[in-house]
Amino acid sequence: MNLLITVLGVVQGVGYRPFVARLADELGITGTVRNSGGNVHIIAQGDQTQLDLFVRTLSERRPPDADVIQILTEPAVTDDEYYDFQIIRSSGSVDYTPLLPIDLPVCRTCMD
């Protein structure tokens, strides 16, 4: 099963993508995470129990400087099969100013 997860809030420049990748590895989720248009988009692949736990954990835990406002989920329309979990290059245009943490440098891992 594939799930598209969109995370809204202060999720860029705070180590959110590496956090998601570590959590996915911990829970046996495959797929991708990327920044897109000021949000974080995750394609998560796993069984229903794994995906439920993944989404629940995303809503309960986060990097120290992140501020998640909302997590949206919907079935992902893709036939791709993932064998691991990867952080992929940011994409998309920003139609608004993304929420960024005040007075924090962008973490090295998030520079991509």
The set of catalytic residues is: 17, 35
* Of 65, 53, 47, 67, the residue nearest 7 (C-alpha): 67
DSSP assignments along 46-102, one per residue:
S-HHHHHHHHHHHHH---TT-EEEEEEEEE-------SSEEE---BS--SSPPP--T
